[in-house]
Amino acid sequence: MDALAQIGGPLAALGLVGLLLAHDRWVRLGGLALAAGGGMLAAATFAPRVGPASLAITVVTVLVSASVLIVVLRRWPWLLPVLALACVPARLPFTLSNSNYSSFILLYVVITAATLVLALETYRGDRRSRELGPLAWPVAGFVVWSALSLLWSIDVRRGATELDAALLPFTFLALALARLRWSRRLLQGLLLQLVSMALVFALIGAYQHETGQLYWNPKVINSNAYRPFFRVNSVFWDPSIYGRFLVLAILACLALVVTRVGRPWLALLTCAIGALWVGLFLSYSQSSFTALVVGVVAAALVSWHRRAATPLVLMAMLIVPVALLAPQARAKMLDGSKSNLNSITSARSTLVEHGIRIAVHHPVVGVGIGGFRRAYADLTGLSGRDLRKAASHTTPVTVAAEEGLVGFVLFLWLLAASLLVTFRRAGPTFPGRVQLVCALSLTAIAVHSLFYADFFEDPMTWSFLAIAVASPLALPGEASTISGGAVGSGVVGTPPQ
């Protein structure tokens, strides 16, 4: 089965080149077919063994659901981002062949339908191409290299899983979102949906904190019994993912505040930020708080320029003592059984250190996509259940170790290009605010991925990339700012088709 996956990786890479970069519709259709076929070959190495009846039920369910969604998305294309955002928290646990899984099941169905719509539109003569605009080459470079690295991966099964669970489907999602005809009303509606969802999740988190009841994750439930504080995860699998979602909602509100949104909405946005911060605090996610601090600093620099210097210095003076007052950091610093740095970072410093050693030992092409855990185990002698401790927590180190200097440079290119595109266009106009939301969100996700390796595995990353390149085309030259009347009339109602 590994051989099939190692054939599927290069096929998917070849198909992505045609899909992302070509202009001819037949080349793009062929590229889509190759990418999908390569993904199916890769899936052979990790697909659970099920009986014919279970397989038939699964296939029929997916096909029927996707068919219904195709009709819906053809009739109301604006529903794609609405449905995708609604499915982002739904990383559902399920059992198959006596094995436990946690996956974006609902989101994958939506992406399947959106990809088939893309194929249908291209087949019927739609000449749109290079939907990702200035990010088309950076995205293609990184994703194609990642798929190719399956050829030399030392853990083909895990590499194939990463390819099929994140890189391929989320690339398709980004393309589908970038093809939409974005409007002010749709973008405002998505902002309202994001903040509303985050407020509901924060309320659920507060309820969990008061009742002591958690959902989904037995690891967090067990660890809370031995901590001096109680972490909540709301409807998410992991408290850090819950915290990151709240951070994105906070920064979206903050982008409107710092660009002088209409006064009637300033109080509502400020209250929303406060409520979301309380929910974030209960997650006790150090990575999420760090991402929030960097996002706030970035927002201040964009808004105030040099005037931000004084408040930023004051903020920096407050960050360390406030962080030390947090129960998580204080408890770990007082634990003398480990070094302070390794304790405060939950053993991440050791993972980073060994990850760098792996990258140094395989400098050019790395150990291949998905190979970090096995390379770490070979380096440190871990085996059995201890292998779980080898999971990477830092995206740049993981990329350097798995994909070598080539992949690391491509990752930096993609990150730099996306931040340059978004921050350069940020401003007080409506399109500028959209770009600022994307810029701050991508910055926060990138910072969060330094402590929780989930940059490319987060569909929000790809969604913000798509919106960043597509919205300026849909909203060219708009100079009006958001006023109370504009927001009020734009959020409510049905977005135009």
Q: Is 97 left (phi over 0), alpha (psi -120 to 50) or beta?
A: left
Which residue is it, tokens 């706030």?
296
pLDDT at 497: 34
pLDDT band at 493; cut points 50, 70, 90: very low
Q: Is the pLDDT of residue 336 over 50?
A: no
Q: Is the pLDDT of residue 324 over 60?
A: no
pLDDT band at 199; cut points 50, 70, 90: very high
- pLDDT over 70, % of the chain: 80
pLDDT at 379: 83
Q: What is the dihedral of CA 155, 135, 81, 129, to 10 degrees?
A: -110
Q: How many C-beta atoms surround the C-beta of residue 312 within 10 A? A: 15
> Exposed, middle or buried: residue 490 (CB in 10 Å: 0-12, 13-18, 19+)?
buried
- Both ends of the chain: CA-CA distance in Å? 45
Q: Are 84 and 107 in contact (CB under 8 A)?
A: yes
Structure token digits, residue 363: 């400098």
Question: How many helices, marked H, and strands, marked E, lie in the chain?
Answer: 22, 2
Q: What is the DSSP track for 309-335? A: HHHHHHHHHHHHHHHHHSHHHHHHHT-
> Exposed, middle or buried: residue 238 (CB in 10 Å: 0-12, 13-18, 19+)?
buried
Interacting residues of 266 by C-beta distance below 8 A, sequence separation 6+ = 257
Residues, the chain, total? 497
pLDDT at 110: 95
pLDDT at 251: 95
SS3 content of the chain, % helix, strand, coil (to 5): 75, 0, 25
**Which carries the bigger pLDDT value, residue 484 or residue 121?**
121
Q: How far apart are CA 376 and CA 373, in angstroms?
A: 5
Question: pLDDT for 384-429, tens place per residue?
Answer: 665 666 667 789 999 999 999 999 999 999 999 999 999 999 988 8
Q: Is the pLDDT of residue 339 over 80?
A: no
Structure token digits, residue 344: 């405060």
Q: Is the pLDDT of residue 31 over 70?
A: yes
**Helix, strand, or coil (residue 99):** strand
Q: Are 451 and 394 in contact (CB under 8 A)?
A: yes
**Which carries the bigger pLDDT value, residue 113 or residue 314?**
113
Which contiguous run of DSSP H or E holds residue 256? helix 239-258
Question: pLDDT for 68-79, tens place per residue?
Answer: 999 999 999 999
pLDDT band at 265; cut points 50, 70, 90: confident
Alpha helix stretches (DSSP H) within 391-448: 395-425, 430-448
Q: Is the pLDDT of residue 329 over 50?
A: no
Q: How far apart are CA 297 and CA 178, in angstroms?
A: 29
For the chain, what is the largest distance between any 2 Cα atoms, rounded to a whole number of angstroms? Answer: 67
What pTM did the predictor assign? 0.85
Which contiguous run of DSSP H or E holds residue 92? strand 92-96
pLDDT band at 300; cut points 50, 70, 90: confident
pLDDT band at 142; cut points 50, 70, 90: very high
